Every structure is written in C-alpha cells, then in structure tokens.
A and B are shown apart, each in its own frame.
Chain A
Amino acid sequence: MREYFTLFIGALLVNNFVLTKFVGLCIFFGVSKSLDASIGMGMAVTSVITLSSMLAWVVYTFVLLPYHLTFLTTIVFVILIASFVQLLELIIKKQAPTLYSMWGIYLLLIATNCIVLSVPLLSVESNYSFVKSVVFSIGSGMGFALALVLMASLREKLVYADVPKPLEGTGVAFILAGMLALAFLGFSGMI
C-alpha cells in the first residue's frame, strides 16, 4: 500500500510532469487562460491518460514483449492513443452529451499530446505492474490538472497586473511557469 502511495505522490508532486519534466506544455499554456476551461481539461487529460495507459500496458505486455518488438513501442502507442481518443469521443458524444459539451474540443486536442504519450511510455520503461501503471497514470494526470489549475488561477489574476509591454501575454506566463516549477522543486526531498 505504502509503495503505491509513494508512487502516486511521486507522480503528482515530486515528478510533476509539467513542472519538473516539462511535457504537455502546449496545453499548459494554451488552456490555462481561464479556470473553468482548465478544470475541464485537467479532468479530460487525467481520464484519457489512465485509460490509454491501461490499454498500452496490455498491448505492451501481451503483444510487444513476447515478440521482442519493444523498439516499436513509441509508434504503437501513438496509434493506440490516437484511435482510442477517437473512440472515446464517439462514445461520449452519444452516451454522455453533457460531459461532451463540457469537454468539447479538449478531448480531441489531447489525442496528439506528449503527456498522454509519455506516461504510458515511462510506465512500461519502469516495468510497472498493471495496478502500478494505473496508479502512476492517475497521479501524473492529477499532477497535470493541479499544475493547470494553479497556472490558470495565477493567469486570471495576471490580467490585472501591470506587465511590461514586451512581456505581455505568453511571455510573462513563461516566467510564471518557471517560478511555479521552482516552487515544485521544493517537493523533491519528499521521497
């Protein structure tokens, strides 16, 4: 139990994907302008990462490993995730229209995002078991959501700040992300 908890906290805070590994930055800067959108996006990313890394784990363990095709991992995962997101979109659109209208375009934006790819890749690289890879994905997804929500709240305040002209908009957002990353560095001694 303790092992899983450490893994979860590690993925959530200590090795936060956005703020220490710097993946998923395009969504991080693109969707962090408003708090509502960032919450929706965070939830969408968490669920897609979890589901797709389950799928990826199954394919990796039962197809790629036995036939010594591990050099295909990246390309196979890309195909898996892209088609899986498509499938998820079709199902959600029909079965849960309210959820679909809430996630809207974000779901498809995730299809080609690096954070969704890197989580399954890292978890097969570390030889995690199925349960461990699920815990790891939930942790990293929630870590991403946390970073996104923090950033969005900061940027909503930033609108009223007197920012020097050349840094307005994305420029100051990058500086802010750097500071946030520094703050997250403080977690590195935890485990």
Chain B
Amino acid sequence: MFTVIMVLVVLGGIGAVFGFILAFANRKFAMEVNPLIHEVEDILPKGQCGACGYAGCAAYAEAVVMNKEVPPNLCVPGKDAVAKLVAEITGKKAEEVEPRIAHVRCKGTSEKATLSYKYKGIHDCKAASLIQGGPKGCKHGCIGFGTCVSSCPFGAMTMGENGLPVVNRKKCTGCGKCEESCPKNVIQMISINARVKVDCNSKDKGAVARKLCSAACIGCGLCAKNCSYGAIQVQNNLAVVDKKICAEKCSEATCLAKCPTGAIKVANELIVNKNSDTLKVTI
C-alpha cells in the first residue's frame, strides 16, 4: 500500500514540479514571434532554393520582417507577384524583380564536340571535371552528366538526348541552383527579356575552338561588327552581349546573320518577334 501511494506521490510530484517550472519558464522566457513572419512565409514559394541568400524560405521570411535593410524582392522564384505581397506586408518599397532563366551556354552535342578521352568514372560533372577538365575536347563546354539537372529544386531541367541539359522555360524559376552546381560555369542566369544569347562558353582561340567543336564561338567578331549599337564585344575569344544596350536599343538583331558557326542566337523568339518584323525574315 505504502509503495502504491509513494509511486503516486513521486510521479505526481515530479509531474507537478516540472509542469510548474515549464509554465513559469514559458512565461518568463516567452519569445514574441512577429506574426508577420508567418504571413510572409506563407506567401513564399517554399522551394527552399536559397536564391535569396538565406538558408531557406523561413529564414528569409524572418530576415525580411525583422531587418529593415533586407529588400522584399530577393525571392527569385516568386518573381514580381511575391515581391509585391512581401513588400505590402513588411511595408517596404517593392522594386521589380527581373525574371531570370537558366541558359546553357553550350551547343557541343555528342556529334559536334570532340572527345579527348573516354570517361568511365562516377557519373557526375564535378567528379569528371577533376580529370583533365572533363572528357570533352573543349574544356569550357558542358560535360553532360547532368549535375545541374539533379540540383534543380523545381524539376525544370532534363537531360536532352544530345547530351546537353534542356531548360523548361515554364518551370524554371531562375533560382540559380544549377549555375552554382556547374563546375564549368556553362550555365548562366539571363533575363527572360534578353534578346540574343551566345550559346558557347569557349575561351579557346578561334582555330582551336573550331577544331574541338563545330558549334563553338570562334571569337571572330563578326557579330560585334554587325551590331549597330556596340552592344557586343569579344572578350577572351568569346562574344559577350551587353544586355542593357541590347535590350533597350536594338530591335533588328542584325548581329545573328553573319555568325559562321551559329553560336549567337535569338534568346526568346516571342519577344524579338513582337518588336521587329524584319527579324522574322533573318531567322
């Protein structure tokens, strides 16, 4: 009998003591969580991609509410709609988010690009790039093992049959995970409003680049000469487009016509066609 009573007393006592301590601590150490944080978190797309520079959607929500300096437009996948809502909740001024999309700067398919050796190791671009810069002849091009595809949190990338990744424009949110994962820097985020894009990353000299891959930019500069606005420059044997000049001034895209390898292309046909009738002919 004594034991039974003691069991009840001891267990009840411990329960009661800890109950009181916890209740007391809960009040004493209460943390006021700003309800706005939850509101912001509900709006964010929850891809947990980290494109905003924070550890995840919850971390960004907390930062944007608590810290005045954190702008409301950091969520790239959310685009303008989310930025506006976040700005509304936090009382900050929304600046436009320029929608981005992943651009694979390589057209060196298995037919066009040469191989310098046969790779039989781990099926991963990072691992392959450690061995003499990868199996492809061109050391700047896409290795094609799809490390970017597996890094995409939104399932927007697939591996094409020609050995190059394909970006699904509808699904790509522009978070930039693939850009980080690519050991060759082949993937670059570009504005969806970009007019022309250079589908090559080769910094080799013209003759070398051409020998290694028939789709390479050989740095001849014909596109630069044909651009009436000086938007294209050849840097390191590679044509680089100044997005700002290109988007603001040009409507004809005359640069494409003379490219001997077809490395420079219209980025988004819909956009260019809308602004220019002449381009339809040149494509």
Known contacts A68-B3, A79-B14, A80-B14; is-contact A160 B21 (Cβ 8 Å): no
- Residues of A contacting B31 in the complex (Cβ-Cβ under 8 angstroms): 93-94
How many A residues touch B, CB cutoff 8 Å?
23
Select one of B15, B21, B29 contacting A94, CB under 8 A. B29
- On B, residues with C-beta under 8 Å from A are 3, 6-7, 10-11, 14-15, 18, 21-22, 25-26, 29-31, 121-122, 124, 127
Known contacts A87-B21, A90-B26, A90-B29; is-contact A160 B124 (Cβ 8 Å): yes
- Residues of B contacting A162 in the complex (Cβ-Cβ under 8 angstroms): 121-122
Q: Report whether B11 and A160 are in contact in the complex, using a CB–CB cutoff of 8 Å.
A: no
CA distance A34 to B127 in the complex (A): 19
A108 to chain B, nearest CB (A): 14
Instruction: Considering the complex, give the chain B residue whose CB is closest to the CB of A59.
Output: B14
Q: Report whether B25 and A160 are in contact in the complex, using a CB–CB cutoff of 8 Å.
A: no
Check: A131 CB closer than 8 A to any chain B CB.
Answer: no
Select one of A76, A83, A91, A161 contacting B11, CB under 8 A. A76
- Residues of B contacting A86 in the complex (Cβ-Cβ under 8 angstroms): 22
Q: Report whether A69 and B6 are in contact in the complex, using a CB–CB cutoff of 8 Å.
A: yes
- Residues of B contacting A69 in the complex (Cβ-Cβ under 8 angstroms): 3, 6-7, 10
Known: A79-B18, A87-B22, A91-B29. 17 other contacts (CB 8 A): A67-B10, A69-B6, A72-B11, A76-B10, A76-B14, A79-B11, A79-B15, A83-B18, A84-B18, A87-B25, A91-B25, A93-B31, A94-B29, A94-B30, A94-B31, A95-B29, A161-B122
Of the listed residues A72, A76, A90, A91, the one surrounded by the most CB atoms of chain B closer than 10 A to its CB is A90
Select one of B3, B22, B29 contacting A83, CB under 8 A. B22
Check: A75 CB closer than 8 A to any chain B CB.
Answer: yes
A105 to chain B, nearest CB (A): 11
Check: A63 CB closer than 8 A to any chain B CB.
Answer: yes
Main secondary structure of the interface of A (DSSP, over half): helix
Check: A176 CB closer than 8 A to any chain B CB.
Answer: no
- Residues of A contacting B30 in the complex (Cβ-Cβ under 8 angstroms): 94
Check: A64 CB closer than 8 A to any chain B CB.
Answer: yes
- Residues of A contacting B22 in the complex (Cβ-Cβ under 8 angstroms): 83, 86-87, 90
- Residues of B contacting A68 in the complex (Cβ-Cβ under 8 angstroms): 3
Chain A residues numbered 51-67 whose CB sits less than 8 Å from any CB in chain B: 59, 63-64, 67
CA distance A67 to B5 in the complex (A): 11
B213 to chain A, nearest CB (A): 28
- Residues of B contacting A76 in the complex (Cβ-Cβ under 8 angstroms): 10-11, 14
- Residues of A contacting B21 in the complex (Cβ-Cβ under 8 angstroms): 83, 87
CA distance A94 to B15 in the complex (A): 24
Q: Report whether B7 and A72 are in contact in the complex, using a CB–CB cutoff of 8 Å.
A: yes
Please list 5 pairs of residues, one from A and one from B, whose beta carbons are closer than 8 Å in the complex, sorted by A's number. Answer: A72-B7, A76-B10, A79-B11, A87-B18, A90-B29
CA distance A63 to B6 in the complex (A): 10
Q: Report whether A160 and B122 are in contact in the complex, using a CB–CB cutoff of 8 Å.
A: yes
